[in-house]
Structure 1
Amino acid sequence: MARTDRLMRLMDVLRRAPAPVTAAKLAAETDVSLRQLYRDIATLRAGGALIDGEAGVGYRLTEDSALPPQSFSRLEIEALLLAVGELRQMGDPALEEAGRNALARIVATLPERQSQQALHAVLRSFRSAPVRPDERTPPAGHLSLIRQCCWDEASLNISYTDLQGASTSREVLPLGISYSDNNLMLLAFCQMRQDYRTFHISRITALSRGNASFRPQRVPLLRAYVEERRARRGQAASGVNIAVVGSPE
């Protein structure tokens, strides 16, 4: 792991873990030896981070010079906590962890009174499991690769089983992921159909990064999709019978 990434990861642990955090826990979280951890703590302190504590006792981040001070109302703090808590329902562990880390960074910049409000917020999300987890839980690694290909504007090769049980393989241009109560959906432009399609991510049985790049077409494709949907809705409102865009044929 690069030094900068390692130090950022150490700061993230100090922000989110209950203080004081032992050196052993910090070393395990950042995957370094205790000797390296002590050097990293010294580096952060030299950079301006106020870290109380010492070896054998534990560490506490008392002031984070890397982040500007912020102020939120009590209701805004509770809204942030509730939103991040709801990420557990997305069936996306990487996204949930990113939300927790982002929230920890925000809370670390709050004045003492507001950080206590974040600790003892009234609004919390404590759902035990996602709704219909069979439809919400994608195969391991799928979401990370889909997200990466969306940002890289790279094609995806997918094997897919539709709602009728038919299996196909195709190359698609991934445009985005849609989260709902019951499903995770991939919006893509299908090279085989030359049209927009939506796919249940839980029904993608295999996928790999394709060789085609569609940079910088992702945003124009999304805009065209929105305009097409609007046009079709207008036709439907006028009594014209049309097929629903996005059915994965």
Structure 2
Amino acid sequence: MARTDRLFRLIDALRRLPPPVTAAQLAAETEVSPRTLYRDIDTLRRGGALIDGAPGYGYTLTEDTALPPQTFTQEEIEALVLGLAEAQHRGDPALSAAADTALGKIIATLPDRMQRQAQHAAIMVRRVERPPQPAADLSLIRRACWDELALGIAYVDATGAASDRRILPLAMVYLDRGIMVLAWCVLRQDFRKFMADRITSAALTDDSFRPRRAGMLRDYVAQMTTNRH
């Protein structure tokens, strides 16, 4: 792992994990030896990060100069905690993990009083069951949307008929009971909605449709709005 990536992972672990964080925890998070970890801690300190602690006692990030201080109202903090908790619950493993690290980064930029509010928010999200995860890799579909690359998918429609499609993925919509992929279907030459739990497999192609995604998505949303009226 490149040294820069390793230092990013270390500072992220210090933001996220409950302090004080032991050297063993940090070494496991960054996949380095304890000797390398101590050198990396010293590097961050020389770079301006205020890290309290020492070997055998654990470490606490008391000031992170990499992130500017943020201020939010109490309601804004509650909204952030609620939204990210929903993403942790409803997202696929990659999105759920990203929501967890994002919350840690946001909390790290808050003044002490606001950090306590965020860590002990009055709103919590609890679900008895997590929604079933589709067979297809949702992180790959998100990447195809962002990179504007066509996808090859195997799809089973509501009647049980299976087909292979090539689509231009535009957006993912999280509904009450599932996830819908908005796309241009090359086979049908029209906009289509694909339920993620009916996509049995997906593969990236080298076919780029950049920079058409934003315009196509606007057209699709406008079409859906018109059809509702």
- Report the TM range for the smaller structure's normalisation: over 0.9
SS at match of 1:170: strand
CA drift at 1:208: 0.7
Aligned 1:41-80 pairs, distance under 5 A: 41-80=41-80
Equivalent residue number for residue 159 of structure 1: 154
Equivalent residue number for residue 10 of structure 1: 10
Regions of 4+ moved over 4 Å: none
1:171 corresponds to 2:158:
no
CA drift at 1:179: 0.5
CA-atom RMSD in angstroms: 1.4
Q: Distance in 1 between matches of 2:61 and 2:42?
A: 13
> Which of 131, 134, 140 lines up with 1:138 in the alignment?
134
CA displacement 1:128-166 (0-9 Å, x = unmatched): 323xx34xx1126x1111011111110000001111110
Equivalent residue number for residue 182 of structure 2: 187
1:23 corresponds to 2:23:
yes
Q: Distance in 1 between matches of 2:138 and 2:3?
A: 27
CA displacement 1:207-230 (0-9 Å, x = unmatched): 111231101110111111122223
CA drift at 1:184: 0.8
1:207 corresponds to 2:185:
no
SS at match of 1:188: strand
1:32 corresponds to 2:28:
no
- TM-score (structure 2 length as normaliser): 0.95
> Which of 127, 142, 153 lines up with 1:147 in the alignment?
142
Q: Tell me if the contact between 1:89 and 1:129 (Cα under 8 Å) persists in the aligned partners.
A: no
Task: Tell me the percent identity.
Answer: 55
Compare CA radii of gyration and give the structure with the larger one.
1
Q: Distance in 1 between matches of 2:143 and 2:10?
A: 24
| Amino acid across the alignment from 1:139 | A
SS at match of 1:18: coil
Q: Distance in 2 between matches of 1:162 and 1:210?
A: 22
In structure 1, the gaps of 5 or more residues are 235-249
Q: Distance in 2 between matches of 1:105 and 1:211?
A: 34
CA drift at 1:23: 0.6
Q: Distance in 2 between matches of 1:167 and 1:82?
A: 38
> Which of 218, 235, 240 lines up with 2:213 in the alignment?
218
Equivalent residue number for residue 196 of structure 1: 191
Q: Distance in 2 between matches of 1:230 and 1:86?
A: 27
